[in-house]
Amino acid sequence: MSVAVVVGGPSAEANVSRTSGRAVADALTSAGHRSALLELDGDLPRALSAGVFDVVFPVTHGPLGEDGCLQGLLEVMDLRYVGSDVLASALAASKPVAKVLFRAVGLPVAADMVVRAGDDSLRAAREARRELGGALVVKPACGGSAIATSRIDADAADDELASAIRRALEVDDAAIVEPFVRGREVTCGVLEEPDGNASALPPTLIEAQGADWYDFTSRYGSGKSRHYCPAPFEPDLIQRIQDAAVGAHRALGCRDLSRADFVVGDGGEVTLLEVNTLPGMTSTSLFPEAAAARGVSFVELCSRLVERARSRKPRRIPAPLPMP
């Protein structure tokens, strides 16, 4: 197949995306496909039209690439693509909206408060402390890769919390504030089988080395984190994590693949944080690592995803009704 691998875009995560995209393109070449790297910009529609591609593989993160905008363009152009459709992508990209759906199906999520651009940040900080407690986490409502995410200790001043809210609002129109849940950071991928059945991959335990939590440096700096996959947990805990990951995938209506992030408390309490519809895709990223633990190599994973996208039935186009 001829595959367009779309990367970059106007996002703070653009370089992460480009790194993943190069790895995906190399893997597709190894699998016998033809691939081309295309940038998510104003020239993308022309490049997609000129390339005559069988499948588009979005390897994009953040605004326009992961929130349904790119997916909408591909729908308009009637191109088959890897990953979730417009609605699921948009739902997952908004942490506050996703959590509404997670709560509706009984998935374990933390309480939260949303602060919007234009709100008084100090007033919001004081309200968050009253409603959510002293130790808090602040992050952009639609961001990823821990960019502009802050962890605020219980003894920190309200001004420090207000500053964290303002930092998050510099990269998004809304910030989400949640209680800091102490525990181990865990992620769990979901990969759909050829028959469409969503199957959880082995969970991964993450130990940050670059900081005392899994921040941007720990995620992407060489040697700044350790991954243990499968996670060294009891079978019951592994099953609960996997069930929650599949439940979140289905609640949002995700397609092909997703990766859910969790905090697991010392007593085994599982808290679902968010779902990524387009997880990082270098050969050492969390999702491909978990697929490899299942026995699916990176080359096989990338090829399998484009084959699944190519086999999807074309979108039904109804005949226009005549005007009365």
Residue 318, pLDDT score: 85
The helix or strand, by DSSP H or E, that contains position 243, with its residue range, turns out to be helix 235-252
Residue 147, pLDDT score: 77
Instruction: Quote the CA–CA distance of 296 and 27 in Å, as a whole number.
Output: 13
Residue 132, pLDDT score: 95
Sign of the alpha-carbon torsion through 209, 211, 216, 217: negative
Q: Where are the beta strands (DSSP E) in the chain?
A: 2-7, 34-39, 55-58, 113-116, 136-140, 150-152, 174-179, 184-192, 198-200, 204-208, 225-228, 257-264, 270-276
- Residue 223: pLDDT band with limits 50, 70, 90: low
Residue 284, pLDDT score: 74
Tens digit of each residue's pLDDT (9 = 90 or more) over 195-206:
889 999 999 999
Domain 92-108+183-277 in CATH 3.40.50.20? The answer is no
- Residue 154: pLDDT band with limits 50, 70, 90: very high
Residue 215, pLDDT score: 53
Nearest to 188, CA basis, from 102, 271, 103: 271
Tens digit of each residue's pLDDT (9 = 90 or more) over 278-308:
999 986 789 999 999 999 999 999 999 999 9
Percentage above 70 pLDDT, the chain: 94
Six token digits for residue 90: 């948009």
pLDDT at 210 over 90: no
- Residue 220: pLDDT band with limits 50, 70, 90: low
pLDDT at 46 over 70: yes
**Picking from 5-9, 30-34, 156-160, 279-283, which range would have the lowest pLDDT averaged per residue?**
279-283
Instruction: Quote the CA–CA distance of 251 and 249 in Å, as a whole number.
Output: 6
Q: What backbone phi and psi angles, to 5 degrees, belong to 193? A: -75, 165
Residue 231, pLDDT score: 96
For the chain, what are the domain ranges? 2-82, 92-108+183-277, 113-179
Kindly state the average pLDDT of the residues 89-116. 96
- Residue 217: pLDDT band with limits 50, 70, 90: low
Annotated catalytic residues are: 13, 145, 220, 259, 261, 274, 276, 280
> 55 or 182, which is more confident?
55
Six token digits for residue 159: 């001004």
Averaged pLDDT of the chain: 92
| DSSP-H helix ranges across 63-215 | 69-76, 86-93, 95-104, 121-132, 158-169
**Picking from 12-21, 66-75, 268-277, which range would have the lowest pLDDT averaged per residue?**
12-21
Bridge-based pairing state of the strands 34-39 and 2-7 = parallel
Six token digits for residue 260: 């859910």
pLDDT at 315 over 90: no
Kindly state the average pLDDT of the residues 269-285. 91
Record: fold of 2-82: Rossmann fold (3.40.50)
Record: fold of 113-179: Dna Ligase; domain 1 (3.30.1490)
Identity (one letter) of the amino acid at 183? G
Residue 311, pLDDT score: 93
Tens digit of each residue's pLDDT (9 = 90 or more) over 235-252:
999 999 999 999 999 999
